[in-house]
Amino acid sequence: MLEFICLIPLFTGIIAMFLPVSIGRVILVVTALLHLQLTVMAWIGKVKPGLPYYFSTSPDGLLVLLVTSFIFLVISIYAVSYLSETEMTSEPIYIGCTLFFLASMSMVALADHLIVLWIAIEATTLMSAPLIFLHRSKSALEATWKYVMICSVGIALALLGCFFVVLSMEIGHVTEAITYSALSKVATQLNPTWLKAGFIFLVIGYGTKMGLAPMHTWLPDAHSEAPSPTSALLSGALLNCAFLGVYRSHQLLFKAGLGDFSSNILIGFGLLSMLVAAVFIFNQSGYKRMLAYSSIENMGIIAFGVGIGGLATYGAMLHLIHHSLIKSSLFLSSGNILLGYGSKLIANTGNMARLFPKTCTAFFAGFAGISGFPPFGIFVSELLIILGAFQKGRTISISIFILALVLIFAGASRLVMKMCFGKYKQGVLVDENMARVLPSYALLLASLILCVWLPDSLYQTILSAIATIGGSTNG
Amino acid sequence: MDTLFASLSVILAGGMIALLFAKQFTLMKAATIITTSAGCLIGLADSLSLLLSNNTEVIEKSWDWLHLFTLAFKVDSITLFFLVPIFTISPLALFYSFHYMGDGAKATRTAVNYFFFAILVASMALVVTAANTITFLLAWELMSLSSFFLVVFDYQVQENRQAGYLYFIFAQGGAMLLFAAFAILYKYTGNFDFSTFHTIPESAKLLVFILAFLGFGSKAGIFPLHIWLPKAHPAAPSHISAIMSGVMIKMGIYGIFRMYLLLDAATPLIGQIVLVTGIVTGILGVVYALGKQDIKQLLAYSSVENIGIILIGMGIGMVGISTKNQAMAFFGFAGALLHVFNHSIFKSLLFMGAGSVLHKAKTKNIDQLGGLMKRMPLTGKTFLAGSVAISGLPPFSGFIGEFLIYYGAFHGISNCRVCLILAVLAIVALAVIGGLAAACFTKVTGLAFLGEPRTENAANAKESGFSMTLIMIFMAITCLVIGVLPEPFIRLAFAGINDISSVSGYDTREFMIIVRHISQTAAFFIGLVLLLTMLRKLLYMKKEIGSGGTWGCGFTQPTVRMQYTGTSYAAEMIGFFRPFILIKNTYSGITKIFPGKTTWESEVEDVSEKNLHLCLVEPLLKGMNKFHWIQHGKIHFYIAYIVVAIITLLFFL
Amino acid sequence: MMPSSEALLALILLSVLLSLTSHRLLTLIHIMAFQGIMVSLVPLFHEKHHTLAIGSILLLQVMILIKGFLIPGFMLAAVKKIKMRREVVPLISYHASLFIGLIFIVVSAFIADRIQGTLPGKQTVLIIITAITTLASGLFLLMSRHKAFTQVIGYLIMENGIYLFGTALAKQTHTQYIVEFGVLLDLLVGIMVMGIILTNINDTFDDVDTAYLGELKD
Amino acid sequence: MESIFSFCFAVLIAPFLPVVIQKVKAFFAGKQGPPLLLNYYTLIKLLRKGSVYSTSTSFVFRMGPIIGCATSMMMLLFFPLAGAAPIFSFHGDVIILFYLMGLGRFFTILAALDTASPFEGMGAAREAFFSTLAEAAVFGILVLFFRLTGSLSFAEFFTGNNIINLIGAHTALLILVIVALYIVMLTENSRVPVDDPATHLELTMIHEVMILDHSGPDLALIELGAWFKLLFYSSFLAKIIDPFQLQNFWLNCLCFYAFVLFIYITIGTVESVTARYKMNMVPKFILTPFALVFFAIIFTMELIK
């Protein structure tokens, strides 16, 4: 049963809450393994949904699920080492909520029903909120508060969007199930005005979660204040799930022949996000905030690529995969940096090349990867988006896109160089440790491998995922 | 092609060896240097034999990549020609590095340096062999990335970090322009293959070329995109500067050349743009070189100058093609290519010399050097040879390339007005560049190596290790050999442009006679000098040779600080170019009746750097700072953003 | 449209306006409980639902339970724990808030008038007016009140508005009880989580004023 | 044979001619002037002497005079003196020759810097600067000549069918060229108004200050080089002006040297009637020939179709 993918982490999460920490950690990793296994089985098509009315396997969902599952496994291994270093007070809750978080994210990836998707996305917010404020520091609480409030408000608006879509069904006398798969077959019969209104609310709602500017405001706070494994999960997995909501809605509009409308909105949001990220990455004082803004940028890139369509969509999907891998790796490295220097401020770090050579390698490689340098996959995805945009004749938007990329690169590389090579006088708190460095390497290696060899099934899945919005690899 | 890839694998294996044996310092250096050099030599032998065999058949190889792309490689004469400097300079630089990278405390870092060196060499080779967009960009980005790591080798020094940062931004910015250029091409052709580029509409060609020209130009160092060069070259270790300045920036030239050939545009504007850029770059490059006191910075600006010369040659060739003037095109291109090769040798030589000086005299500032010719005779003499060569003076190699360009430009003097004016400008510019380059390098050689040492460090300098001096001697001799026996090298350049259809088949027999004459003239001149030297010996036989202090024009207590300085030497010349060169003088002034210590400083500022900062970076940063209120921390307004976003979007309904 | 339904909607509107002017937290919670029950009852009086299915009745009860008792009860407990009585002087004064509430009604009447033509079947204007006003007022509370606690209430009011919208427009959704229940569960858990965070904030800052929650910025 | 004779004659007569300038100056000053063979005496005197070398100098200092002298000799070897074909000649030789002059200058400057003197660097800097500006004009002239004759060699400029001559088709252009070349000659040979060989203050010197530390045969080589260079430029000018293309070599020779003598006399006259410019005026003065030549080139677009 497909639902097991959600239920297993939910179940183990409840168990872990009541068990001692040492067993909880084992449960975390074992569940992650089990989850990955189930995901792979779902990929092969061995698992059928038990409630086909609510859940189904769509190629885009599977893609997100696989990425989530893989990243979760790596992060859970990291988390074990990280947790033993930080001595968190309510670790069972942390482990339990992490597993709930996985459950809700899996649910997002598998949901087919409009409102089930909504429920799942709202659930991700609620499940991840405890993960952020478990530090109980002032700033962590503030960040959590903003995260929960802003996302709840945003997602509530998405619910209104869902209602509008349903309304458009009623006006169009469509009696199909309220699932994305069913609706996209009859999309042309839906009332276009209400569908568009629905899309606006959906994109604002899920866009809040995804971190599209100007609804991104919670993201830098939450990502920077959360413990690093959580930041990695938020950035590498959660944002993709929110993106899935936007993507599904875009699919619906595309099928209804309103693709231009939704594309333009996505392009607008994408560019705005990139510009906002550029503004804040320059002179950024905290490295985790810098990474958070970089996530906003990359979500913007993905939205932009999807909005452009054609070849760029393929690029956007690749970007999604590689961004998740590389960004979570970066956040994991940032966890090591935080442990090592005891500060989130860039000004209090430096000379990582000498003090933490392994972390520095991972961090700089991740930075190079996220900036679009080969041999990491973002090089390909950004290139494809640029190619696609030019092909579609979107000259002005692509100029802004390129400008933003250069600005962000200029801003970020200055900070990263300061951290890796800059001066640092004081001592270090915690030395780096292979168990906490290897996960970063593993994620980077995955991106590298996918840049050299993309498995055929993955390729086909991406193709079928983008085919629904008219994307293809030949423009 | 297989041999080439085999050689690249060996080179990369050399890089891996460095990482594996990082702990055993000397062993690691030796093993890496030998392996990587062996790879280079295999590649060199292969490309030379292909180049000289006049084999017109094109060699291709391709692999599928990520389902969408093909990694295609193709070898033609231009590719082979550019492979020659890559594979020649790399092993030389590596051997040089054996003694240069002598600090065993930095073993790991040195190993990483060798690793990226190997990647740089391999990626440069891939850049020139790439036959489609994807492959090219992939190799290009790898090249930028690996060279960045080479630049920041000495990262503890703040200037080096800044230099690396600047270089990084220029590399990425340039790459983005290339992305755009290739994307436009893709828009029209629908595939990545280089061979289809000429099919795009004529109207788009100019735009594509300009984008690519700026992108490649930022790597090559055209004015005003050169500002990373004078920062990055001093920052990098000297053998890295040698390879970057000697070879890597030529990849930008390769790109411009390749793009031009692939586009096959009919518009004469392209050639004119390239030529004028070349002139501006050349003249301003050398003027700035003259104004700088840091040897490596000066050499970096000199690289800018030489890029200018190469672009002048290339522009001459392009103008020749657009006016159907085959001789002009042929010699313009051949001259540019030959200068690429020559420059790679003498610039590497000079950087190595500078490195040797830096290593032993602990400073790069020529106003603090002096008298090194006696203390480091081999470095001094080879540096002198390199200086003569880079000033384009016979009988050394620099002259030959410039002669070809002159020859092409003179053939452009015809009745076509634009053509005439451009050719005249090119010729005059070359002459001025030559004169200023001579001034510039007399300054370096004269002040750093001749005269009296100005500081303690300079006075205590010793000759560098044999791996360094041997390489420099070899390169200096090569410069002389090319100058005296240029024929095989000119043939090499001719072979390089063999595959350009619009100029191939040009009858070079007439020109070869001239070349032989040049060769004879050079030989004759050397003979004459030897004769006069003997005569002088004869005249001095059995005569009293006294020695004493330099004539101080009546002043009886001269000190070394009274020597003419580089700043004063250049002051008048750079002052002449004032609007294009900023001279910042700071004078403490005399305030009291009995004045205390006063200071006067003069510094040359790069006009493009300053303006870039003033007109682009500062307003940009200021503008961006204006938006910082967005993230003010107040949740009420954050929610208001959402509401505003909704309301705004509803208007589009 | 039954008159009873219109009365219900009028009550809801009244509760919204009251919530805008009220500064006592306990009053606010009571208003909210009342509003929650009213909103849950709206579908009952809606004309299409004369024939109520069993599931529908069940859901109705659950909804009244959650919106009318569980959530307010939970919040009352939280208020007790926090020991907070009243909202400080808001960003926008209570009189102005009331005035703005009235403007919301006018604007929503205008909007309702505009969109009514596109809707299927006979729709009452009043329910749309109420829905929009409730939604807008909820957002307004979120944006204008200092105490984090009031923001939660604003969120709930907004949620009520959205629910009203759903009732008015998208009737199909109401036939899917599992989904509906899921939404409610989310709401409940959401409020719980918010409550937990609130108490934590109170423990840490000794207050739940959002003025303390503005440190993270660039 | 004629070529070799011509060359040898030029080499022999080169030291004599500068005395003409001094004589003219003496005439203007109302003095008697030095003996006609003064420079030969000087040469012999210098060759018989030993040298004193500064302890600061290295081998570069000793190479300077040799290369300087050799490059000047190269110019004469390639120049069609007195109507005879030059000893060597090929298409494109002008480029290499002017670059060889550059080489000579390069080493002269280096030799000056080698002395570690506070003054010689000053002269070296001026030399480098002014000759660069002059070089631009020279290459402009070469472009113009290429435009007129289609060739790039001294021999082809002045022998054969399509020769450059004032009494030819392009008088107007050539007048500009002559003026330009004359200024270049004054610059390159350190004559008034650019430089004053007779000055006594090192601060105001250009060429003289650079050779302060040379003595004995080294100085002799430098002087020889300077005389050859001056002869080369005068011959260049003379060749442009000389209207006679006679069959008889000896008559030709006579005419040619008459014109050369005329050039020297004009130099003497110029030196007598003008004062040297302030140093900051010199660049403007040297830019004049370039402007003239450039103007001439633009002119050819209308004249030569």
| Helices A59-86 + A434-452 axis angle, to 10 | 160
d(CA A379, CA A448) in angstroms, rounded, equals 11
Per-chain mean pLDDT for chain D: 90
Residues whose CB is less than 8 angstroms from the CB of residue A340 and which lie 6 or more positions away in sequence, other chains included: A355, A356, A359, A428, A429, A430, A431, A432
Chain D: nearest CA to B550, how far in angstroms? 5
Averaged pLDDT for residues A105-117: 94
The answer to whether A300 and A272 have CB atoms below 8 angstroms apart is: yes
Enumerate the β-bridge partners of residue B365: B294
Angle at D284 (CA atoms; ends D281, D288), nearest 5 degrees: 140
Residue B434 belongs to a domain: no
Chain B: nearest CA to D279, how far in angstroms? 10
User: Which residues from chain B sit within 8 angstroms of residue D114, using beta carbons?
Assistant: 373, 446, 450-451
Dihedral sign (CA C81, C82, C85, C91): negative
Name the D residues in 63-82 with CB < 8 Å from any B CB.
65-67, 69-71, 73-74
pLDDT tens for C105-121 read: 999 999 988 888 777 76
Residue C218 belongs to a domain: no
- The shortest CB-CB distance from A126 to any of C170, C182, C190 is to C190
d(CA B69, CA B517) in angstroms, rounded, equals 51
Residue C129 belongs to a domain: yes
User: Which residues from chain A sit within 8 angstroms of residue B641, using beta carbons?
Assistant: 214-215, 217
Neighbours of chain C (3+ CB pairs under 8 A): A, B
Q: How far is CA D43 from CA B545, B621, D38, D47, in A?
A: 18, 70, 9, 6
- C34 phi-psi bin (left φ>0, alpha ψ -120 to 50, beta other): alpha
Neighbours of chain A (3+ CB pairs under 8 A): B, C
- Residue B10 is encoded by which pair of tokens? 């060996």
What is the span of the domain harbouring residue B650? 608-653
Q: Do D56 and B451 touch (CB under 8 A)?
A: yes
The answer to whether D264 and D51 have CB atoms below 8 angstroms apart is: no
Q: How far is CA B300 from CA A134, A358, B364, D256, in A?
A: 55, 34, 13, 49
The answer to whether A383 and B68 have CB atoms below 8 angstroms apart is: no
d(CA B37, CA B121) in angstroms, rounded, equals 10
Q: State residue B590's pLDDT score.
A: 83
d(CA B401, CA B397) in angstroms, rounded, equals 7
pTM: 0.95
pLDDT tens for D124-162 read: 999 999 999 999 999 999 999 998 888 889 988 888 777
**Residue C84 reports pLDDT greater than 80:** no
Averaged pLDDT for residues B296-300: 96
Into how many domains does chain C fold? 1
d(CA A464, CA A304) in angstroms, rounded, equals 19
Least confident residue range of B222-231, B328-337, C52-61: C52-61
pLDDT over 70 percentage in chain A: 100
pLDDT tens for B147-194 read: 999 999 999 999 999 999 999 999 999 999 999 999 999 999 988 999
Residue B130 sits at φ, ψ, to 5 deg, of -60, 140
User: Which residues from chain C sit within 8 angstroms of residue A118, using beta carbons?
Assistant: 183
Averaged pLDDT for residues B35-45: 96
The answer to whether C56 and C43 have CB atoms below 8 angstroms apart is: yes
| Higher-pLDDT residue of D160, B408 | B408
User: Which residues from chain D sit within 8 angstroms of residue B412, using beta carbons?
Assistant: none
Residue B529 belongs to a domain: no
Show the 3-state SS of B472-541. Answer: HHHHHHHHHHHHHCCHHHHHHHHHHCCCCCCCCCCCCHHHHHHHHHHHHHHHHHHHHHHHHHHHHHHHHC
Per-chain mean pLDDT for chain A: 93
Residue B505 sits at φ, ψ, to 5 deg, of 85, 5
Question: Each residue of A2-29: b (16+ CB within 10 Å) or e?
Answer: bbbbbebbbebbebbbebebeebbebbe
Enumerate the β-bridge partners of residue A113: A179
Q: Do D216 and B564 touch (CB under 8 A)?
A: no
d(CA B545, CA B523) in angstroms, rounded, equals 31
D198 burial level (CB within 10 Å; 0-12, 13-18, 19+) = exposed
**Residue C85 reports pLDDT greater than 70:** no
The answer to whether A227 and A335 have CB atoms below 8 angstroms apart is: yes
Residue C217 belongs to a domain: no
Into how many domains does chain B fold? 2
Q: How many CB pairs under 8 A join B and C?
A: 28
Residue B144 belongs to a domain: yes
Least confident residue range of B483-492, B578-587, C75-84: C75-84
Quick one: which of C163, D131, A95, D198 has its CA closest to B434? D131
Q: Do B187 and A390 touch (CB under 8 A)?
A: yes
ipTM of the prediction: 0.94
Confidence band (pLDDT; 50, 70, 90) for C123? low
Residues whose CB is less than 8 angstroms from the CB of residue B140 and which lie 6 or more positions away in sequence, other chains included: B123, B127, B175, B178, B251, B255
Averaged pLDDT for residues B449-466: 92
Q: State residue B238's pLDDT score.
A: 94
Q: Do B435 and D136 touch (CB under 8 A)?
A: yes
Interface test with D, best of B331, B539, B559, B568 (most D CBs within 10 A): B539
Alpha helices in A137-214 (DSSP H): 138-171, 180-185, 192-210
- Which stretches of B191-324 are assigned E, i.e. beta strand? none
Q: State residue A50's pLDDT score.
A: 87
Residue B34 belongs to a domain: yes
Confidence band (pLDDT; 50, 70, 90) for D242? confident
Q: Do A159 and C193 touch (CB under 8 A)?
A: no
**What single letter denotes the amino acid at residue A213?**
A
Q: Do C186 and A122 touch (CB under 8 A)?
A: yes
Residue B122 belongs to a domain: yes
d(CA D118, CA D107) in angstroms, rounded, equals 18
Q: Using alpha carbons only, how large is chain A's radius of gyration in Å?
A: 21
Q: Is the minimum CB–CB distance between D277 and chain B shorter than 8 Å?
A: no
- Residue A173 is encoded by which pair of tokens? 């006398």
Half-sphere exposure at residue A411, Cβ-oriented, CA atoms within 13 angstroms: 30
d(CA A447, CA A322) in angstroms, rounded, equals 6
pLDDT tens for A338-347 read: 999 999 999 9
Q: Which DSSP symbol is given to B69?
A: E
- Residue B300 is encoded by which pair of tokens? 């970096």
User: Which residues from chain C sit within 8 angstroms of residue B639, using beta carbons?
Assistant: 139, 142-143
Half-sphere exposure at residue B590, Cβ-oriented, CA atoms within 13 angstroms: 3
DSSP for chain D?
-HHHHHHHHHHHHTTTHHHHHHHHHHHHHT-----TTHHHHHHHHHHHS-EEEETT--HHHHHHHHHHHHHHHHHHHHS-GGGSPPSS--TTHHHHHHHHHHHHHHHHHHHHHTTT-TTHHHHHHHHHHHHHHHHHHHHHHHHHHHHHHS--SHHHHHSSSS---TTSTTHHHHHHHHHHHHHHHHHHTT-TTT--TT---GGG-SHHHHTTT--THHHHHHHHHHHHHHHHHHHHHHHHH-----S-HHHHHHHHHHHHHHHHHHHHHHHHH-PPPPGGGHHHHHHHHHHHHHHHHHHHHHH--
User: Which residues from chain C sit within 8 angstroms of residue B631, using beta carbons?
Assistant: 217-218
Per-chain mean pLDDT for chain C: 85
Residues whose CB is less than 8 angstroms from the CB of residue B73 and which lie 6 or more positions away in sequence, other chains included: B1, B60, B61, B62, B126, B129, B130, B131, B135
Q: State residue D304's pLDDT score.
A: 65
Enumerate the β-bridge partners of residue A179: A113
**Cis check: omega of the bond before A59, within 30 degrees of 0:** no
Whether chain B lies against chain C with 3 or more Cβ pairs closer than 8 A is yes
Q: Is the minimum CB–CB distance between B634 and chain C shorter than 8 Å?
A: yes
Residue of C nearest to A191 (CA): C118
Least confident residue range of B478-487, D64-73, D80-89: D80-89
d(CA C104, CA C96) in angstroms, rounded, equals 12
Angle at B494 (CA atoms; ends B492, B499), nearest 5 degrees: 110
| Higher-pLDDT residue of A401, D168 | A401
Tally: H helices and E strands in chain B: 25, 5
Q: Do A152 and C190 touch (CB under 8 A)?
A: yes
User: What does DSSP say about strands B59-65 and B69-75: parallel, antiparallel, or unpaired?
Assistant: antiparallel
Quick one: which of B39, B58, B41 has its CA closest to B1? B58
**Residue B526 reports pLDDT greater than 70:** yes
Quick one: which of A71, A93, A91 has its CA closest to A83? A91
Q: State residue C57's pLDDT score.
A: 82
Tally: H helices and E strands in chain C: 8, 0
Quick one: which of D152, D221, D150, D230 has its CA closest to D197? D230
How distant is the alpha carbon of residue B274 from its chain centre? 17
pLDDT tens for A314-369 read: 999 999 999 999 999 999 999 999 999 999 999 999 999 999 999 999 999 999 99
Quick one: which of B203, B80, B182 has its CA closest to B136? B182
Dihedral sign (CA B429, B430, B431, B434): positive
Name the C residues in 176-205 with CB < 8 Å from any B CB.
none
- Residue B562 is encoded by which pair of tokens? 């009274």
Quick one: which of C21, C160, C8, C9 has its CA closest to C102? C21
Using DSSP's 3-state secondary structure scheme, residue B56 falls into coil
How distant is the alpha carbon of residue D155 from its chain centre? 18
Residue B622 belongs to a domain: yes
How distant is the alpha carbon of residue B380 from its chain centre? 22
Q: Is the minimum CB–CB distance between A407 and chain B shorter than 8 Å?
A: yes
Domain boundaries, chain D: 2-303
Residue of C nearest to B640 (CA): C143
- Last residue in a domain, options B165, B190, B215: B190
Neighbours of chain D (3+ CB pairs under 8 A): B
Q: State residue D200's pLDDT score.
A: 78
Q: How far is CA B108 from CA B24, B29, B49, B101, B163, in A?
A: 10, 11, 37, 12, 22
What is the span of the domain harbouring residue C57? 3-212
